[in-house]
Chain A
């Protein structure tokens, strides 16, 4: 199964600024996924990152707030834009296949002050 490196592991940001989170996979994968996990909660899918096309966003998430790049089959970034304290969460990327299952990056703990 895929091994995913995610960075930064944590950051404290000022409101109104933006943070870009990176995920690198050790093998080529068709789709990568970005999730948000608010404190003490389960995971919510933000979007699916497809190589060569725009990301597909879930209800409640928009491209202007969470722009995603997918320049190749092993890398993706998620930007959290114009941050507010409500964006304080853990952000996780994921990749894999139905057969082998999906692995996750180690997560980015974001605190907005």
Chain B
């Protein structure tokens, strides 16, 4: 079974600064997908970024980028130029190719302050 570990229960950052959220996972699969989801207080789960394991290039979406280290089974999320609206719970998730079900980490609560 796959496991996803987020070792930082809470993180704080000031507006305009950069923050990195950590995620590690354990799997014996070679082909899989990784995701970061954001859940603000409204509780809507929002897909932030996704990464295919077979792609060496790290995914980027505007201010969000990942550092995907397949050998180390690490998938960290970097948020640049943090904004107050980035305050949310962030979940890292794993999906085995062809299975469609997501395994989530416990989440990291990110607080962006002025």
Contact = CB atoms under 8 A, between A and B. Distances in A.
Interface string A34-62: 00010001110100100000000000000
Contact of A101 (B50, B91, B101): B50
Interface in A4-45: 31, 33, 37, 41-43, 45
Contacts of A104: 37, 44-45
B67 to A, nearest CB: 19
A37 B105 CA distance: 12
Interface residues of A, number: 20
B97 A98 contact: yes
Interface string B74-114: 00000000000000000100010110111011110000000
Contact of B100 (A42, A48, A90, A103): A48
Contact of A42 (B50, B98, B106): B106
B25 interface: no
A102 B43 contact: no
Contact of A45 (B44, B91, B102): B102
Contacts of A41: 106
Specify which of B42, B50, B100, B104 lies most central, judged by the most chain A CB atoms within 10 Å of its CB: B100
Give the one of A41, A90, A92, A101 with max B CB within 10 A.
Answer: A101
A1 B49 CA distance: 13
Contacts of B104: 42-43
Given A33-B100, A101-B47, A103-B47, 16 more contacts: A33-B102, A41-B106, A42-B104, A42-B105, A42-B106, A42-B107, A45-B101, A94-B102, A98-B97, A98-B98, A101-B35, A102-B100, A103-B45, A106-B43, A106-B44, A107-B45
16 contacts: A33-B100, A33-B101, A41-B106, A42-B105, A42-B107, A43-B45, A45-B101, A94-B45, A98-B95, A98-B98, A102-B35, A102-B100, A102-B102, A103-B47, A104-B37, A107-B43
Interface of A: 1, 31, 33, 37, 41-43, 45, 48, 90, 92, 94, 98, 101-104, 106-107, 109
